[in-house]
Amino acid sequence: KKRRKVVQEGRMSSQVIPLAARVNGLTVAVDAVRRTFISDRLSREAKVRYEVTLERQPAVEHNPFGLGVVHQSIHEEAMPGEKLK
């Protein structure tokens, strides 16, 4: 509840800095550093890996490339000196 309130009041934001990307068929993985700020102060920094798996679908007007997301995940690793909650 407290975190939701902070976000709603507009005092929490995140910054994601991509470091590397890999493509294996229809699966894309992006390694990045994610920084979380509260009231303009760095609150947390973590290495993350975003993974998205796509599937081919019929191309239609609202999806002209014919790709749909079938799986997505985020893997997080604490930076040195920080514990994951």
Per-residue pLDDT of the chain (85 residues; tens, 9 = 90+): 776 776 666 677 889 999 999 999 999 999 999 998 888 788 889 999 999 999 999 999 999 999 999 999 999 987 666 555 4
Q: Which letter, b or e, does each residue of 7-24 get, where b requires 16 or more Cβ atoms within 10 Å of its Cβ?
A: eeeeebeeeeeeeeeeee
Phi, psi angle pair for 66, to nearest 5°: 65, 40
**pLDDT value of position 83:** 53
> Which residues is 15 bridged to in the sheet?
35
Output the six-digit token pair for 77.
């690793």
pTM of the model: 0.71
CB-based contacts of 3, cutoff 8 Å, min separation 6: 12
